[in-house]
Structure 1
Amino acid sequence: MSKNYVLSLYNKMGKLPFGKKLFSLFASNKAPYFKTVSPLITKVVPSECHCLIKKRRKVENHIGTVHVIAIANGLEMAMGFMAEASIPTHLRWIPKGMDLQYTAKAGSDIRCVALLENNQWQVGDLPVEVTAYDENDVVVVKGIIHLWVSEKPKK
């Protein structure tokens, strides 16, 4: 199995001053919409990724909490980098839906976590568990991002 480029880059950059911030900027450039929440990827390992969204004015709603769409953006980013750091090299993935429940007000920084239990990749529908926590570890959003996983075409 070849070395995973996401894990290699994350581990290499993580050793540098401001390495996680640099990696997060790189990650945001891969999908520029993620820049809207100024994410900080704080953990990437096979089957798991954590992404921090700082509570600041640009991600707040009219009541001063972190807007759920900003949280959904962070959850999708965490899922995407978890997937890239985990998926076997003969497979590919694409998101096909998201089911989220808003469980509490998000009045602080938010930690978005994507977790694929036992790193069990399979062809077909694959649900990925996503959860957003406030700074007191209260779950503010939880749900599933549904992936479609298929074999890469033979070259």
Structure 2
Amino acid sequence: MSAPNPLRRLVDKANTYPAWLSRRIITWAFCSKVKLAGTAGLEILSTDGRTVTMRQRNLKKAQNHIGSVHAAAMALLAESATGFIFGLNLPGDKLPLIKSMQIRYLTRAQGDMQAVASISDEQVQAMQSQERGEALIAVTVTDSTGAQTIECDMLWAWVAKKSR
């Protein structure tokens, strides 16, 4: 039996509240642990436990020299979305680690950015049953026009937490 996951418990509880409150609770919890996400102003819009939707507003602090979301902020958005959904499904006695990320910039972004990341049942089963492993987490990043501005391959790994 795998160890309980505190993030999963928080998300499951938060999702019993109205959507506006659930979004705030989950975003606050995530950004309190992932400081750069809070600094950039990432928001978690929704999650059902297998999929998460995150947003990066086109805020001044996340803009590049031409007034759109900076390439690094787009990478942070994709990495955060995949890491959130990966970590949400990982047993509490395992540690998530980003193993590699490949990002291809396709087109100039317009307005706010949105990332939708998802994890498969097979990936979750492997995370629950294997001591260590890796999973390529699917993510789609679009701008306010709906255009996919970047393609990403986010490879996450898990290992057992070391006893202290």
User: Which amino acid in 1 is paired with 2:153?
Assistant: I
Aligned partner of 1:128 in structure 2 is: 137
Q: Distance in 1 between matches of 2:122 and 2:90?
A: 8
Q: Percent identity?
A: 22
Among 106, 109, 114, the residue aligned to 1:111: 114
Structure 1 residues 35-89: Cα deviation after superposition (integer angstroms, max 9, x where no partner):
1221111122333222111112111111111111111111111112101221245
- Unaligned segments of structure 2, at least 5 residues: none
Q: Do the aligned partners of 1:98 and 1:144 also contact (CA within 8 Å) in 2?
A: yes
Aligned partner of 2:65 in structure 1 is: 62
Q: Distance in 2 between matches of 1:127 and 1:40?
A: 23
Query: Is 1:77 aligned to residue 68 of structure 2?
Result: no
Q: Distance in 2 between matches of 1:75 and 1:154?
A: 31
Q: Distance in 1 between matches of 2:59 and 2:93?
A: 40
TM-score, length-scaled by structure 1 = 0.83
Query: Is 1:10 aligned to residue 19 of structure 2?
Result: no
Aligned partner of 1:26 in structure 2 is: 29
Aligned partner of 2:149 in structure 1 is: 140
Q: Distance in 2 between matches of 1:72 and 1:9?
A: 26
Q: Distance in 2 between matches of 1:145 and 1:86?
A: 16
Q: Do the aligned partners of 2:96 and 2:158 also contact (CA within 8 Å) in 1?
A: yes
TM-score, length-scaled by structure 2 = 0.79
- Unaligned segments of structure 1, at least 5 residues: none
1:127/1:76 CA distance change after superposition, 3 Å: same
Q: Distance in 2 between matches of 1:81 and 1:112?
A: 11
Q: Distance in 1 between matches of 2:48 and 2:87?
A: 10
CA drift of 1:119 comes to: 4.5
Q: Do the aligned partners of 1:7 and 1:45 also contact (CA within 8 Å) in 2?
A: no
CA drift of 1:91 comes to: 4.0
